[in-house]
Structure formats: structure tokens, C-alpha cells
Amino acid sequence: MEEQIFAFLSFLKQQYKYSDNTIAAYKNDLTQFMRFLHAQNEDVSRWHEVSDNLVQRYVKHMKEQPYASSSVARKVAAIKSFFHFLARREVVVADPTMKVDSPKVKKRLPHTLTENDIDSLLAAPRREKSPKNLRDTALLNLLYATGMRVTEIVSLRLQDLDLEQSILYCPGKEGQVRVLPYNGGTHEVLVSYLEMGRPHLVKNEDEDALFLNHRGQQLTRQGLWLIIKAYARQAKLTGDVTPHTLRHSFAAHKLESGADLQRVQQLLGHANISTTQIYTQLAEGEEE
């Protein structure tokens, strides 16, 4: 059984480029589950022998321990991901976690925008064709198309963009670099900014920051916040709209359109899948 765990951890490392800390968390959670199985009276020596009932008993066991709800949610998510991996490789015939609901984590749901609100926000800077507006159009589109954090997008360099492939290399936490694709519309506004906007903003030819302020220097976090606040007002959006609102909206809309939870976790750069799972509650809320 340990062999399949190590195969899964290797898959996560290679496919999703997870950090050592994340891999260690998965290993601990799955090893804990395996020890629980071995401690049962039933004869379980292969993963295909794990039943729905055994998984439910383990979830019940964890809820009886002094774990935070977020810890239980993370452990359940690890087990579900592991069995999805085993099912795809036909190590198990049936996935015993299919009927297992992830524990609800008591967190305030993030504020997101509707797709219509997103359209209004992205359209706001297009009303003029100035270098600043070209920058802001590219900036807002890229934020929503990739779900990047504030620090990540203002820290982008010119060399982080691969215009030919429509991807960018996003340096994240713990030295990890995420490869983020973006759509054709975002590609077009990026090219327009690079060709007709940025050349009018740059003061120093050695400056390689992608997004520049009016002084020709790297755009700051505070500057980005003010930009979004201004366009949110222009679009007449209600509520507090911040750069993170676009990140939340990106995640929620991805899941609503059927994207895989692990893929969204990878795009967002979350260390634990339980962090990403909160967006499934938003998607479920839309269905009810």
C-alpha cells in the first residue's frame, strides 16, 4: 500500500510541482489513514479492499479527534485525491470516496463578482486609448485570466511572458514558479499594451517590469488597488472590489465551468487543496 502512496506523491511533485512542505502534508495524511486501516479488525492489505464504509468510519473517527475543521477537510481532500488517482490508473475498480462529503470549513465565503460584473469591470478602461488605459486593460484582463495574487502580478518582468505560447511564468511562494495560460482576448490586450502603451510609460530602457506607473517604475501594490477601486466605481459595481476579488472570481468561475479542483489549486498556487475547496461552496450555492 505504501508503494501506491509514493507513486501518488511522485505524481503530485511532477505534475503539479508541489513544494516539499505540501508533499509532506499529503504523505502524513495518507500514512495516518493507512495506519487507521491496519488498526481495524478487517483484513485490508490492498487499496481496492477499502470500502465506502471504512472511509466513512475514518471520517467519523477524525471528527471525534481534537482537530480543527480545516484539518479534517484537508485530510479528507487528500484521501479523495489519492483514490481519484488510483481509480484513473485502475488500481481500484470503484472509488470508495465518491459518496464522501468534504467537511464544511467554517470560513466566511470570499466575495466574488458575477461574469456580467467582470465584463463591466474589464470594459471600463477601454473607454480611452491612452497608454495608461492600455496598461489598465491588460492588467485587469491578466488578473482575471490567471487568478494571480497582487504581489505576483506587480512583480512580473517582461521575460516572464511567453507571447507565442500565451503563457506566463509566475514566481510564487517558496520559490515555486507556476505556468499560467491566458486566453486570446488577454493576449490581444497584452500585445496592444506592449506595443502602444508601455513604450510611452517607460523612462529607463533597462527597466524590465511588465507593468509601469506614470514615473516609469514598477507598479506598486497600492497603485494596483487604487486602479481597481477607480474602475469598479466607473463600472458601478457594489461591494468592496479589490485585486483579490478578481482572484476569488477566477477560482469560482473555473469550478463552476467544470474545472478540476486540483487544477484550480495548481493555478492559484495553494499549498493545501482544502484552501481551494472553499470555492466549491460558492459553486454549489449557485446551483441551489
CB count within 10 Å of CB 100 equals 17
**For residue 22, which of 272, 245, 281, 276 has the smallest C-alpha distance?**
272
Instruction: Specify the DSSP class assigned to residue 108.
Output: P
Is residue 247 among the annotated active site residues? yes
Cell of 214: 506614470
Question: 173, 221, 229, 263: which is the annotated catalytic residue?
Answer: 173
Edge-to-edge order in the sheet of strand 161-162: 161-162, 167-171, 177-181
Q: Could you tell me which residues come within 8 angstroms of residue 163 by beta carbon, excluding any fewer than 6 positions away?
A: 187, 190, 191, 194
Handedness of CA 41, 46, 47, 50 (dihedral sign): negative
The position carrying cell 474545472 is 259
173 carries an active-site annotation: yes
Known catalytic membership, residue 279? yes
Among candidate residues 149, 187, 198, 253, the one labeled active-site is: 149
Determine the Cα–Cα distance for residues 4 and 8; give it in Å rounded to an integer: 6
The answer to whether 121 touches 113, Cβ cutoff 8 Å, is: yes
Q: Is 84 a catalytic residue?
A: no
Please, which residues bridge with residue 230 across strands?
A: none
C-alpha cell of residue 261: 479542483
Of 217, 228, 205, 246, whose CA–CA distance to 155 is shortest?
Answer: 217
The cell for 122 is 474589464
Which residues are annotated as catalytic? 149, 173, 244, 247, 270, 279
